[in-house]
Amino acid sequence: MLNKISSSKSWKYVSVIIILGLLLSLTVQSAFALNAATNKAINVLGYQLLDNTSPTADQLKVYLDKNMSIDGSDYQFTVYDSSNTEIDISNISSASGSGVSSSEFPSPITLPNGCTATLTFESQLTTDTQYTVTVSRVIRANNNLNVGEFLVDSSGNKCDRMFKFKTKNSSNEYTGTPYISEMPWDNTSSNKVPVEGNIGFIVDRPIENNHDSVLSGMTLKEGVDSVVGTDCFPAMCVATHTGFFFPMTYGGTDSSVHNLRYGITYAFGVPQLVDNDSNTRGASTVDFSTTASDIPAKFLYAPTFSSGTLSWTGVTGANHYHIYVDTSKYWGNYSTPDYATTDSSTSISFTPTSGTYVRIEAVDSNGNCNGLSNYLAQ
């Protein structure tokens, strides 16, 4: 059965869709996302700003912990200035490397693969300005998961990964209080955080003065008890000291993964941060709760279309499905789905318009969603 949903897409840089819980479907495509290194979340770890000398354009290196399908298409990465004006990007390239120095990995933890996406801007950035970076939730990795598979915003909605960075002033100094983008975000609604993703933060400038004490001071607790070493690995950071995190995986075997536990309230402690120019952010704590059970499994395949019927392979945990249609294969933002099934059916009578891209999203019985499927291009 099919419901047509009337809604307009939001082309603002913040985007969300509403999610909630879990139940088994009849058709199984893949195992749950839980407990396999090949099914671990894709995490944005940090960045490096290359403040080049005029007339050479500035560049931004974004570090991820999986090999990604980065092709430079619109909306894979977007950057906005403080007035919400989109910054023109002339080129996006990718190379191997997650930006984490091997010295940051305590034995026997090894360096993950990962990749670096380099964004080259059309021109130099404005001094003393804070910028917002959006990494599209639909960028897929080599394990068929996408960036948004395990991300939720402060309302518990699935979302893109967003962080901020700031440029220095004309005196080559940072100004203002360091700003952090947490994962999960502050005041994330109860029982909405998936268990597989890293817990950490990205700061809008390098934290050189006290990065060692930041690593030693980061905490993840259930009540008064630390869960570091049982629910996650010890804290690490990228070599540029812009991203700090508790990793959930470090290698390619099932024994090298952790997960948070279902239905638990955690407290993520961020210590004091001091930048190179002695600007200070005080310590803070983020409280969040995990989902009661796993989200629906990942999609391995894109939907297909034939003779007026749109079809897809069902996934474990799906109670029903959402269908999204857009004119961009990496559309940056959307509000609600274009269509939704009312049961676990894996096909609908529907003919996509030429020039559009179609994706499927699985929803469990409580409303929790997985990441979007790969796209069908029409």
Q: What pLDDT does 34 receive?
A: 37
The reported pLDDT for the residue numbered 30 is: 34
Q: What pLDDT shows up at residue 331? A: 66
pLDDT of residue 74: 64
Report the pLDDT value the prediction gives residue 367, as an integer from 0 to 100.
80
pTM exceeds 0.95 for this model: no
Give the distance from CA 13 to its chain's centroid: 14
Amino acid 365 reads S
Domains and CATH numbers, the chain: 1-32+294-378 (2.60.40), 37-289 (2.60.40.1220)
**How many other CB atoms are found less than 10 A from the CB of residue 86?**
12
For residue 13, the model assigns a pLDDT of 34
User: What is the pLDDT, as a whole number, of residue 335?
Assistant: 58
Reading the chain (378 residues) residue by residue, the pLDDT tens digits are 555 444 333 333 333 222 223 222 323 333 333 334 456 778 899 999 998 777 778 999 999 988 877 776 667 899 999 999 999 999 998 888 788 876 666 555 665 678 899 999 998 999 999 999 999 888 888 777 888 888 877 776 778 889 999 999 999 999 999 999 988 876 666 677 888 888 999 999 999 889 999 999 999 999 889 998 888 888 989 999 999 999 887 654 545 778 899 889 999 999 999 999 999 999 999 998 888 888 888 898 999 999 999 999 999 999 999 999 988 777 655 557 788 898 888 999 988 889 999 999 998 887 888 888 889 998
